[in-house]
Amino acid sequence: MQIGTVVGLNGVILHTTNGGSEWISQSSGTTNRLLDVSFADAVIGTVVGADGIILRTTNSGATWVKQISGITNWLRGVWLSDANIGTVVGDGGTILRTTDGGSTWVNQSSGTTSILESVCFTDANTGTAVGWAGRILHTTDGGSTWVDQSISIDPIDQVLYGVCFTDHKTGTVVGGDWYTGPYENGVILRTTDGGLSWISQSIPTMRKLCGVSFTDANTGTAVGGAGTILRTTNGGVTFIQEESINEILYNYMLLQNYPNPFNPSTNIKYGVSSTELVNLKVYDVLGNEVATLVNEEKPAGTYEVTWSAANLPSGVYFYQLRAGNFIETKKMILSK
């Protein structure tokens, strides 16, 4: 996919047609903060933001036309099911629905006054909205009725910021504390029964997660605070977080994990001095492989991987780096 649009502060709208190599500024006609964008196809899209603003384009953003929302609440999430049908969510439990391309927006009853941050539909009728205090709402009739699937979250000030469903049954929501800090209690929840039950998944970060997207039931990416990027290829059974720190290194290295002992996550930093096939694995004391953290070609540089062992028992584990002719193994301790 080469075409994309992003929105932000002061009415900023940027558009790319070459996969992000270039971003072209588009005129939004507003200085309001813009918070979300959704396209039904390559040309028809909707943007929402502060003070109830809704903008629509039918020409890939060459022009954006303001639509009447009828409210002044901040609108934080938008989803277009097709060129005519769309749903918007926002402050005070606001849910708006259009079936005529935004010519009219009808206020729906959400049954809550919680801030709603994001919304996702798998077809014109089946959708989920998420927000503050663990709020999860589900509809199967286009929003005529919304059923509360909210979960108990501790602490209570946690927010669910993003939601993505790949079909009627399979979905993921992400979130964390509303404030910004080193420990933001990041959370990922997953359902395989349309939201009747939500299971917390183990993640290798404490940062809050603000957005999630899946290309199929198993392959997805979540993003969040401090540049956090998590990726899974098994439906969230495991998530890998990896960050390139710099590109200049003169020796191979494998550093001691930190913290150590750890519970349940730890960071492993390693480096390679030339482009190599890198393999980083974790073993138990019997020599059984318990995790593959890296198995791909890497250019010269230093890297850091965060590993979560939430589903493993306490004990001694070993991690081993193989890159070219370089092999090194270190010990770490999981203490629960």
Position with higher pLDDT, 301 vs 249: 301
Single-letter amino acid code for the residue at 325: N
Average pLDDT of the chain to the nearest whole number: 90
pTM here is 0.73
Give dist(CA 50, CA 48) in Å, integer. 7
Would the pLDDT of 7 be above 50? yes
Give dist(CA 270, CA 321) in Å, integer. 8
Give dist(CA 219, CA 238) in Å, integer. 11
**Angle subtended at Cα 156 by Cα 146 and Cα 164, rounded to the nearest 5 degrees:** 45
Average pLDDT over residues 174-196: 86
Single-letter amino acid code for the residue at 75: L
pLDDT digits (tens, 9 = 90+) for 26-85: 999 999 999 999 999 999 999 999 999 999 999 999 999 999 999 999 999 999 999 999
Single-letter amino acid code for the residue at 36: D
3-class secondary-structure state, position 226: helix
pLDDT digits (tens, 9 = 90+) for 187-235: 999 999 999 999 999 888 888 899 999 999 999 999 987 778 898 989 9
The closest of 145, 112, 5 to 61, measured between CA atoms, is 5
The pair of structure tokens assigned to 99 is: 């079936």
Give dist(CA 125, CA 140) in Å, integer. 5
pLDDT value for 153: 65
pLDDT digits (tens, 9 = 90+) for 228-282: 889 898 999 888 776 544 444 346 889 899 999 999 999 999 988 888 899 999 9
The pair of structure tokens assigned to 306 is: 């965060």
Domains, in order of start, for the chain: 4-241 (2.130.10.10), 243-334 (2.60.40.2550)
